[in-house]
Structure 1
């Protein structure tokens, strides 16, 4: 890994670089892949990574990418990489029924921000769409992206693992549990192998918790430290693990927490950014009673440690902000603990 990332082209190339394990896995995996909801923050790089791994494995597979594609640029980048794009509204059951069958499905579609005031749409996107998909792809294996927000708030010394019962706060998190239940229902009814992929938080420098904190410090704004701590994972590692999870689907559905092994304290990270950016650091509050954390030791056992450490991510992020790297303008709102997004 480089000491620093100097350009968006370099960043995108790194996100699409498969390792030997993923290449070997693609060589053994049977059949095509279809990625649903591919046009979001992670999906484009996931599609590019899948194509790159298949090419390096020397095998022939189609990678289909499905979304509404309101962002024409995302569609163009995917097609340039070799992804076969399909425009589809996944809320439309008839349209979903026309999608090509594929033995390998990665489900990324969902709704989070703007839930307040539009709760019915959030519930439709996060439960009705999964029901449509689980039905149509009942004979496939499905990796369904989810979130650590389905867990209760935790303290640093008691992070939820996959055996922790869900206890979602607020309608967004409740709808995410609903998404999981739809895929679990499909798995139980039709024997569909499923892996529930509970992610928090992915980092690609243009967005993410580290981007949020560093940006506030760079602009002289106080950091909200009501969330005492958080976990992060390099988006390249998160995408690699998502593809490898196709080999860990089961019926009943399996569950996997996906994040880095480090627990980062918000105040300590902010002060580190202050030093790297040579800016003063201010805080808006004191840590609250809990925050969203996940124990990812099971993923580490299966896939090994992430290729990029949290400290490396912090240094990359500081340099990215300092040199004017592009932002997606999509804050994570990681500090929110009442479920109101």
Structure 2
């Protein structure tokens, strides 16, 4: 169980200690009190840890990032290229998305346009020893279920059948697990799946496509079950902060959440390439703290000078993941929940850009 009683009701900014397993701890020391611009934020988000740079020295070949146009893709692709450059071994991070990404090219990342639903176009992509699969569909899934299933099941089949000789880190979600009680410490990698609703079912289908090729062709796969990435422009904590800032009521039914700094999530996902195996391996990528939504809102209220409004009460369940395995492999994340809250509040106070893509963390019926 990864939950601490102190963390359940608040935040543990000192809980990470000085664990020498994580090269990211030195990165944390260089973080500013706040981010002054999107450029500053992107630079810090994509800064590779010492541990990731060391990992890249041992990992051969290029890194192909599929679905790099989403919220996390640009950060991960840039971090991968920066880590390869710092490792001094050569190699390229190649970002693949449906639309051109001139800003990635300007930052030294090669880019390729491809509609991964097109099997022929997928087969024409450059081969790489390492693949990070980030493509998928969540927002707006309700009402357009066929497209969701196509994006989350057909596309993985195309990719898995094309890159059978590569190591593949597959981004998945903690939503493939059942809802967990706040006192449980979250679902571990061995917890049987229990997807609720078509979105979560389609995400399990994505995993199963890669599992099939891992079992039948020896494809090396690691599933990254993410729960949830956060940076000042989006994420669970941003959703809460925005409601406090705007004076909107916060539904407390889903009263708890995990959150991991996007830079840490990308760092772990890239380092997990070395764990890809046959049969496929699963790894929870989540913050070790079980965050109280009520307490987070009250903290935002103090930082933003606004009194939060609440609706309902906690039913004691949420999508929660146990990240002890990842912490044991990589060391603790560099950034705590308390630090994320401070940065998000500062970003909102200065009028920083918000992506406007809510996580729908409150959802318990599977309708996204």
Question: If the TM-score is normalised by the length of the shorter chain, which range does it land in?
Answer: over 0.9
Give the Cα separation in 2 of the matches to 1:41 and 1:211: 14
Post-superposition CA distance 1:268-298 (Å, at most 9, x none): 1111111111101111222235210000000
Q: Deviations over 1:79-112 (max 9, x none)?
A: 1122211111101111111011111000000000
Q: Deviations over 1:312-336 (max 9, x none)?
A: 0011111111110101110111001
Residue 256 of structure 1 corresponds to 283
CA contact (8 A) 2:177 2:194 kept: yes
Normalising by structure 2, we get a TM-score of 0.90
Q: Does 1:24 align with 2:54?
A: yes
The within-5 A match list for 1:322-333 is 322-333=349-360
Q: In structure 2, what is the equivalent of residue 223 of structure 1?
A: 250
Q: Is the 8 A contact 2:182 2:316 kept in 1?
A: no
Q: Give 1:1-80 correspondences, 5 Å limit.
A: 1-69=31-99, 72=100, 75-80=101-106
Root mean square deviation of aligned Cα = 0.9
TM-score (norm 1): 0.97
Asked if 1:85 is matched to 2:111, the reply is yes
2:255–2:292: 8 Å Cα contact kept in structure 1? yes
Extract unaligned runs of 5+ from structure 1: none
1:178 is aligned to 205
Shift of 1:37: 0.2
Size of the aligned set, in residue pairs, is 337
Give the Cα separation in 2 of the matches to 1:77 and 1:226: 40
How far 1:186 sits from its partner (Å)? 0.9
Matches within 5 A, 1:274-289: 274-288=301-315
Moved over 6 A (4+): none
Unpaired stretches in structure 2, ≥5 consecutive residues? 1-30
For the Cα contact (< 8 Å) 2:248–2:309, is it kept in 1? yes
Please say if 1:110 is aligned against 2:136: yes
For the residue of structure 2 that corresponds to 1:117, the secondary structure is: coil
- 1:300 aligned residue: 327
1:123 maps onto 2:129 in alignment: no
Task: Render the CA deviation track for 1:59-85: whole Å, top value 9, x for unaligned.
Answer: 21021111101xx5xx01111122211
**C-alpha deviation, 1:27, in angstroms:** 1.3
What SS is found at the alignment partner of 1:223? strand
Q: Which deviations, in whole Å up to 9, do the C-alpha atoms of 1:128-183 show, x marking residues without a partner?
A: 00000000000111000000000000111111100100000000000000000001
User: Given the alignment of the two structures, is residue 243 of structure 1 paired with residue 270 of structure 2, yes or no?
Assistant: yes
Secondary structure at the aligned position of 2:311 is classed as coil
Report the CA distance between 1:6 and its aligned residue.
2.2
SS of the aligned residue for 2:54 comes to helix
Per mean C-alpha deviation after superposition, the further-off stretch among 86-95 and 281-290 is: 281-290
User: How far did 1:43 drift?
Assistant: 0.2
Of 170-179 and 277-286, deviating more is 277-286
